[in-house]
Amino acid sequence: MAVPSDLPWAGTGLGPLAGRVLECLVTQPELSSEAVAEALGVTSAAAERALQALENERLVVRVGDRPTRWSAGPPRSTLGSLLAQRRQELARAELYMEQLHEAYRSASHRRVTSDLFEVVESAEQVGVRYAQLLASSRHEVLHLAKPPYVTRSARLESTSVPTDSAAVADAPDPEVPVPDGVRLRSVYDTDGLTDTVSLRTALSGTARGGELRLLAGLPMKLVVFDATAGIMPLRQEDPSAGSLIVHSTTLLGVLTALFESVWERATPVSLDSGRGRPPITAAEPDGRPPGRMRDILTLLRAGLTDDAIARVLGLSRRTIQKHISETAELLGARTRFQIALMARDRGWLEDAPGVVAAPAERTAG
- Candidates 209, 212, 210, 208; CA nearest to 199 is 212
pLDDT reported for residue 168:
46
Residue 254 has pLDDT above 90, yes or no: yes
- Both 123 and 243 in one domain: the answer is yes
- Both 147 and 192 in one domain: the answer is yes
- Both 236 and 128 in one domain: the answer is yes
- Both 263 and 146 in one domain: the answer is yes
Residue 134: count other Cβ atoms within 10 Å of its Cβ: 22
Residue 317 has pLDDT above 90, yes or no: no
CB of 194 within 8 A of CB of 152?
Answer: no
Domain final residue, candidates 238, 271, 304: 271
CA distance 200 to 66: 68
Torsion of CA 257, 260, 261, 264, to 10 degrees: -160
Per-residue model confidence as pLDDT tens digits over 267-281: 887 755 434 444 444
Per-residue model confidence as pLDDT tens digits over 32-52: 888 989 888 999 899 989 998
Tell whether 31 is covered by a domain.
Answer: yes
- Provide the pLDDT confidence category of residue 108 given band limits of 50, 70 and 90: low
Tell whether 134 is covered by a domain.
Answer: yes
Average pLDDT, the chain: 75
- Both 141 and 264 in one domain: the answer is yes
pLDDT reported for residue 160:
35
The β-bridge relationship of strands 183-189 and 31-32 is unpaired
- Both 257 and 138 in one domain: the answer is yes
Cβ within 8 Å of residue 184, ≥6 positions away: 140, 141, 143, 172, 178, 205, 208, 209, 210, 211
115 or 62, higher pLDDT: 62
CA distance 227 to 229: 6
pLDDT reported for residue 257:
94
Domain final residue, candidates 17, 50, 73: 73
pLDDT reported for residue 364:
42
CATH of the domain at 26: 1.10.10.10
Tell whether 338 is covered by a domain.
Answer: yes
CB of 192 within 8 A of CB of 213?
Answer: no
- Provide the pLDDT confidence category of residue 285 given band limits of 50, 70 and 90: very low
Number of structural domains, the chain? 3
The β-bridge relationship of strands 183-189 and 211-215 is parallel
- Both 176 and 210 in one domain: the answer is yes
Tell whether 32 is covered by a domain.
Answer: yes
Tell whether 215 is covered by a domain.
Answer: yes
CATH of the domain at 239: 3.30.870.10
Q: How far is CA 80 from CA 137, 201, 277, 320, in A?
A: 31, 51, 60, 69
pLDDT reported for residue 359:
53
- Both 131 and 168 in one domain: the answer is yes
176 or 74, higher pLDDT: 74
152 or 175, higher pLDDT: 175
- Both 172 and 213 in one domain: the answer is yes
Instruction: Specify the range with the lowest mean pLDDT, choosing from 54-63, 181-190, 245-254, 269-278.
Output: 269-278
- Both 198 and 243 in one domain: the answer is yes
Tell whether 320 is covered by a domain.
Answer: yes
Range of the domain at 321: 291-362
The three-class DSSP label of residue 217 is: coil
- Both 59 and 132 in one domain: the answer is no
- Both 257 and 295 in one domain: the answer is no
CB of 292 within 8 A of CB of 278?
Answer: yes
